[in-house]
């Protein structure tokens, strides 16, 4: 066999090995993708089961809700549970209170946390790192440890049975959100701030005109987190609110459970109506929410 034939055979063998290796790699990647999607589907289904059960229970007659074993499909659909749930308690009054708390909390939290995070990330001042370390250390204190002292402070301020304990604290920021925004701000090149300062812009103008427009994903993530926390909060409103006309939706839902019985159909209908806006909000803000989490750097 000539040298050219040997070289051609070697090239052919090399191509076969290379193509086979690439085909195996593509097959392995496809198998990994299928396994990953299957695993994510199973996890999503596990989280979806309670919501499906809640939605189907809201349409069931009372006798079917308490059946053993459980049934998932209503034998007849009781659509009247939804309008009845709206009039069983002042739903729209509680919705108004909840929206006031959520909107104020979102705006105040985003504004205060962004200002503090800018001071920690873009302005040099003595003791900055020490103060930031102390701020981060407060995240290690469990919420329930400070619950009673906080309650006593608001009692001394005579804020109990008002919306102030649910709104005013948002003006002081949150350690986790400050940390999140600080990390994001630090990924923005300093050259932009320096050029603006050379043109005569002050710190606030740099913050307002340059940092905030570039930080929409992180700010959106903070807004979504804050809204969900305020919308679903039950324990703190339960402690500080006494008058029914100041109740939130989470407290109002508890009225469906009486001393001797519970209106399960109406309760599930009301829970479904309270849950749907949260789901819609997540899907609407999903792109910004995911970007705000994934683009937040770990630059320190």
> Does residue 247 contact residue 131 with C-beta atoms inside 8 Å?
no
Question: How far is the C-alpha of 79 from the C-alpha of 100, rounded, in Å?
Answer: 30
DSSP lists the bridge partners of residue 257 as 262
Question: How far is the C-alpha of 131 from the C-alpha of 135, rounded, in Å?
Answer: 6
Write the secondary structure of 230-270 as one string of H (helix), E (strand) and C (coil): HHHCCHHHHHHCCCHHHCCHHHHHHHHECCCCECHHHHHHH
Eight-class DSSP state of 126: T
> Does residue 101 contact residue 167 with C-beta atoms inside 8 Å?
yes
Determine phi and psi for 234, rounding to 5 degrees: -125, -45
> Does residue 187 contact residue 295 with C-beta atoms inside 8 Å?
yes
Please name the residue that has the structure tokens 């049934």: 71
Q: How far apart are the two ends of the chain, measured CA to CA in Å?
A: 65
The structure's pTM equals: 0.80
- Residue 142's Cβ-side half-sphere holds a number of Cα atoms within 13 Å equal to 3
Separation in Å, CA 185 to CA 158, 167, 226: 38, 26, 19
> Does residue 170 contact residue 102 with C-beta atoms inside 8 Å?
no
pLDDT in tens, 156-206: 999 999 999 999 999 998 999 999 899 888 888 877 777 777 777 777 888
pLDDT for the residue 31: 82
pLDDT for the residue 115: 93
pLDDT for the residue 298: 43
Quickly list H helices, 62-90.
62-65, 81-88
Can you give the pLDDT of all 300 residues of the chain as single tens digits?
A: 555 555 555 555 555 556 566 666 777 788 888 888 889 888 888 888 888 889 898 888 888 888 878 888 888 888 888 998 888 888 889 999 999 999 999 999 999 999 999 999 888 888 889 999 999 999 888 888 889 999 999 999 999 999 999 999 999 989 999 998 998 888 888 777 777 777 777 778 888 888 888 888 889 889 988 998 999 899 899 999 988 889 999 888 887 776 556 778 888 898 898 988 888 887 777 776 666 555 554 444
């Amino acid at each position: 066999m000539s040298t050219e034939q040997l070289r051609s055979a070697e090239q052919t063998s090399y191509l076969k090995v290379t193509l086979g290796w690439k085909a195996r790699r593509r097959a392995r990647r496809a198998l990994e993708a299928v396994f990953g999607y299957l695993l994510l589907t199973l996890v999503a289904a596990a989280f979806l089961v309670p919501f499906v059960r809640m939605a189907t229970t809201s349409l069931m007659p009372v006798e079917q809700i308490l059946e053993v074993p459980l049934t998932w499909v209503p034998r007849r659909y009781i659509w009247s549970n939804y309008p009845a749930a709206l009039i069983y308690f002042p739903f729209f009054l509680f919705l108004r209170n909840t929206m006031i708390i959520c909107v104020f909390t979102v705006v105040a939290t985003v504004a205060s946390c962004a200002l503090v995070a800018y001071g920690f990330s873009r302005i040099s001042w003595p003791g900055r790192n020490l103060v930031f370390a102390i701020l981060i250390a407060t995240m290690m204190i469990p919420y329930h440890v400070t619950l009673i002292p906080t309650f006593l402070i608001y009692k001394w301020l005579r804020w109990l049975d008002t919306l102030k304990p649910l709104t005013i604290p948002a003006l002081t920021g949150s350690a986790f959100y400050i940390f999140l925004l600080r990390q994001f701000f630090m990924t923005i090149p300093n050259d932009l701030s320096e050029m603006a300062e050379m043109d005569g812009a002050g710190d606030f103008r740099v913050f307002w005109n340059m940092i905030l427009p570039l930080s929409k994903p992180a700010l959106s993530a903070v807004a979504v987190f804050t809204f969900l926390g305020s919308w679903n909060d039950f324990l703190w409103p339960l402690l500080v609110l006494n008058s029914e006309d100041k109740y939130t939706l989470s407290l109002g839902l508890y009225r469906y459970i009486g001393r001797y019985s519970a209106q399960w159909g109406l309760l599930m209908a009301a829970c479904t109506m309270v849950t749907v806006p949260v789901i819609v909000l997540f899907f609407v803000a999903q792109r910004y929410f995911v970007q705000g989490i994934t683009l937040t750097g770990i630059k320190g």
